[in-house]
């Protein structure tokens, strides 16, 4: 990850973060994520359970997508500068989808004397269907 | 039952260890390959005291109890009717391999939507480490479909 904090004056509203493109989502990834995260909800790993609950198939953990957005943000700024972030899970991420994570600067502000960059983030599939939206506040430094 | 009387209810705190092997598996699962997250020597040479936990990891560890969904069953909520609607994390200090985190959850809000066919259940969890440092605050919004809701309606997570 970058070792240097964002420079407040070098960041502009409208700037795009370098996008993060994931490989097509596999069941293996869902199994690994279930074990690693501790979220063993069978909806994400057991197709029999998912079908019994009326879903056609297993689908991704919401927090897996949030973790991908974490990669997007920490490839742009050091993790220590990530103050707070939030996401809304608006659609299901299906097996086989190729997800792209994007971010854009929406505001520059100051809070309690600290310069902050507000970023809107999202994940979407290759057809542009949005799965998650959210925003993050990242600390910056003045030069 | 799932109503406003739950607001303010707290659950017993529980603790979980941040294990290096678990962090490496988590990094693999999310496609993370940078040394801070996967390699102790690389993490230290980047200025960290051990493997760094990615920003959502601490949030996941609060499910590290024998039955993480028992509290939903206690509220008579069927897991198959629950969707994760939203998540907010505030970070105050980094989390590293070797840390021991303590999670203190409480119900922050219960909101009925769409004429009662959906209920938003908001849980807030404070996370501290073994030195008592407040490392994160997590706000989780679950969307619970009512049992009598029309099952043909897609479970929109709003």
pLDDT in tens, B19-31: 999 999 999 999 9
Residue B83 and residue B40 share a domain: no
Which chain A residues are closer than 8 Å to B87 by Cβ?
62-63, 66, 86-87, 89
Percent of chain A with pLDDT over 70: 100
Task: Say how many CB pairs under 8 Å bridge A and B.
Answer: 111
Closest partner residue to A85 (CB to CB) among B60, B64, B89 is B89
Handedness of CA A42, B60, A36, A1 (dihedral sign): positive
Show the beta-strand stretches assigned E in A1-80.
6-7, 20-21
pLDDT at B157: 42
What residue in A sits closest to B85 (Cα-Cα)? A89
- ipTM of the complex as predicted: 0.96
Residues of chain A with pLDDT under 50: none
Residue B8 reports pLDDT greater than 50: yes
pLDDT at B158: 41
pLDDT at B148: 60
Residue B129 and residue B71 share a domain: yes
Residue B120 and residue B91 share a domain: yes
Tally of structural domains, chain B: 2
Residue B35 lies in a domain: yes
Residue B72 lies in a domain: yes
Residue B26 and residue B45 share a domain: yes
Domain that holds residue B136: 4-18+55-145
A9-to-A15, A87, A105, A115, A142 alpha-carbon distances in Å: 12, 27, 13, 10, 7
Residue B112 and residue B48 share a domain: no
User: What is the rounded distance in angstroms from the CA atom of residue A66 to the CA atom of residue A86?
Assistant: 9
Burial, B140: exposed, middle or buried (Cβ in 10 Å; 0-12, 13-18, 19+)? buried
DSSP category for residue A119: E
pLDDT digits (tens, 9 = 90+) for B62-107: 877 777 788 888 888 888 888 889 999 999 999 999 999 999 999 9
Chain A within 8 Å of B31 (Cβ-Cβ)?
Answer: yes
User: What is the rounded distance in angstroms from the CA atom of residue B65 to the CA atom of residue B157?
Assistant: 26
Residue B90 and residue B25 share a domain: no
Residue B156 lies in a domain: no
Residue B87 and residue B46 share a domain: no
Contact check, Cβ <8 Å, A3/B47: yes
Mean pLDDT over each residue of chain B, to the nearest integer: 89
Residue B153 lies in a domain: no
Of B2 and A86, the structure prediction assigns the larger pLDDT to: A86
Determine the angle formed by the axes of helices A27-37 and B20-30, rounding to 10 degrees.
150
Contact check, Cβ <8 Å, A71/B158: no
Residue B59 and residue B136 share a domain: yes
Which chain B residues are closer than 8 Å to A32 by Cβ?
25, 28-29
pLDDT digits (tens, 9 = 90+) for A4-29: 999 999 999 999 999 999 999 999 99
Enter the pTM of the model: 0.92
| B 51-110 → A contacts, CB under 8 A | 52, 54-56, 59-61, 63-64, 68-69, 79-80, 83-91, 94
User: What is the rounded distance in angstroms from the CA atom of residue B127 to the CA atom of residue B132?
Assistant: 9
pLDDT digits (tens, 9 = 90+) for B44-57: 999 999 999 999 99
Residue B98 and residue B35 share a domain: no
Chain B within 8 Å of A83 (Cβ-Cβ)?
Answer: yes
Closest partner residue to A22 (CB to CB) among B22, B31, B85 is B31
């Amino acid at each position: 990850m970058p070792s240097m904090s964002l420079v407040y004056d070098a960041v502009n509203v409208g700037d795009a973060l370098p996008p993060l493109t994931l490989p097509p989502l596999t069941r293996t990834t869902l199994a690994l994520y279930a074990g690693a995260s501790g979220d063993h909800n069978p909806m994400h790993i057991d197709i029999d359970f998912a079908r019994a609950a009326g879903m056609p198939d297993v689908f991704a953990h919401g927090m897996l997508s949030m973790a991908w957005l974490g990669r997007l943000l920490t490839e742009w700024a050091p993790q220590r500068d990530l103050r707070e972030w939030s996401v809304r899970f608006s659609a299901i991420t299906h097996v086989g989808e190729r997800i792209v994570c994007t971010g854009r600067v929406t505001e520059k502000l100051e809070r309690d004397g600290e310069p902050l960059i507000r970023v809107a983030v999202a994940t979407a599939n290759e057809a542009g269907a949005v799965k998650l939206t959210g925003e993050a506040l990242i600390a910056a430094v003045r030069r | 039952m799932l109503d406003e009387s739950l607001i303010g209810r707290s659950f017993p705190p529980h603790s979980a260890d941040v294990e290096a092997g678990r962090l490496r598996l988590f990094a693999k699962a999310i496609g993370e390959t940078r040394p801070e997250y996967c390699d102790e020597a690389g993490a230290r040479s980047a200025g960290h005291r051990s493997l760094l936990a990615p920003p959502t990891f601490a949030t996941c560890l609060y499910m590290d109890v024998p039955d993480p969904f028992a509290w939903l069953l206690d509220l008579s909520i069927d897991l198959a009717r629950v969707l994760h609607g939203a998540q907010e994390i505030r970070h105050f200090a980094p989390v590293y391999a070797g840390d021991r985190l303590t999670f203190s959850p409480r119900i922050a809000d219960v909101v009925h939507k769409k004429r009662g066919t959906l209920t938003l259940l908001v849980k807030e969890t404070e996370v501290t480490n073994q030195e008592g440092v407040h490392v994160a605050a997590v706000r989780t919004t679950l969307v619970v479909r009512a049992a009598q809701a029309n099952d043909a309606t897609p479970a929109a997570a709003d």
